[in-house]
Amino acid sequence: MIEEYINRDELMRLLSTLAVVLTALAIAVLFAIIVVPGLRNANKPETPTPMSPVGGVPGWLDPTEFPPARGRVIPPVDPQSLIMPSPQLIARGKTLFGENCAPCHGELGLGDGPASATMNPRPRNFTSPGGWKNGYDLPAMYKTLTDGVPGTSMASFDYFSRRDRMALAHYVQSLGAFPHGTGSPEALAAISKELAAPGETTPNRIPVTMAMARLIGEWSAPPPLAPPAEDHSPAAEILRSVIRDQKRAAQALAASETWRKGPAELAAAIVADAPGNGFSVSSAMLSPAQWEQLYARLVKLERR
């Protein structure tokens, strides 16, 4: 019927045009499916390489690796022996710096340690005189080591002995070629007075991992709070009626320090936190006599 409106040549031209259009559409669809996603991925920013935490060194950055250390009493020292730098102090400071400061500040004190990329603000560049919070003279550095810098990742190192803090301050000063100064006379007098104070005591220290292992070993979850199945005494039935979660109830009583004093204290401990503590709110309806029975039963269960 279409031949009545157009001749054969025009029909062929229309079909050819239609074929070209369909081919172009097919190419466009393939381009959108295959090529466009590749272009997007090519322009996508590179995923940063995950940074593994710095391990194997003591310090606030990795407290789980604190080596065990027994506390000791440090005798008083001559302040001048710590205020004036010496090869021994700087050598000690270098050791402390490598163990505690290099992960953030870098081995050369440039503020480019392996952990620095995760910090805001970035760690201090000790080789530059710009931007110091407390200053870079000796009393200022000692204050920073003692108090830390609030609002930054710089934590307090007050668990170091005064001698070690001074040794670390001297070594940090040695990293920068600029003049550091000695601080004001008042600041020097204050630090001299602190250094000359009676001997200090350093506390015992153990790695956090060791402390956690000991806590886990010393603490075990109490068994579920339930009387034996064959026990149908009145006290056992009262206990069954007021417990909704046996494990939670046992943990709540184990954590309470007051209920063992008597029935009244038991009632107060259970009713105040029900039902979150594993006991039913219906426990508030128990009579004084029932609380006495329940108390005696719980004491007996605890002593099993």
Amino acid type, 9: D
Domain-wise residue ranges, the chain: 2-43, 63-208, 234-302
Predicted confidence at residue 108, as pLDDT, reads 93
Cα-Cα-Cα-Cα dihedral sign, residues 75, 77, 83, 86: negative
Q: How confident is the model at residue 290 (pLDDT cuts 50, 70, 90)?
A: very high
Q: How confident is the model at residue 53 (pLDDT cuts 50, 70, 90)?
A: very low
Burial of 200 (0-12, 13-18, 19+ CB in 10 A): middle
CA angle 103, 106, 110 (to 5 degrees): 145
pLDDT digits (tens, 9 = 90+) for 162-221: 899 999 999 999 999 999 888 888 988 998 888 888 777 776 777 777 777 777 766 677
Whether the predicted model's global pTM rises above the 0.75 cut: no
What span, in angstroms and rounded, lies between the C-alpha atoms of 194 and 37? 66
Measured CA to CA in angstroms, residue 106 lies from 32, 58, 87, 99, 118 at distances of: 48, 15, 22, 11, 14
What span, in angstroms and rounded, lies between the C-alpha atoms of 72 and 68? 13
What span, in angstroms and rounded, lies between the C-alpha atoms of 101 and 169? 12
What CATH number is given for 63-208 in this structure? 1.10.760.10
Predicted confidence at residue 168, as pLDDT, reads 94
Averaged pLDDT, 222-226: 83
What span, in angstroms and rounded, lies between the C-alpha atoms of 274 and 37? 57
Predicted confidence at residue 36, as pLDDT, reads 55
Predicted confidence at residue 164, as pLDDT, reads 92
Phi, psi of 205 (to 5 degrees): -135, 140
Average pLDDT taken over every residue of the chain: 81
pLDDT digits (tens, 9 = 90+) for 33-50: 775 556 555 555 555 444
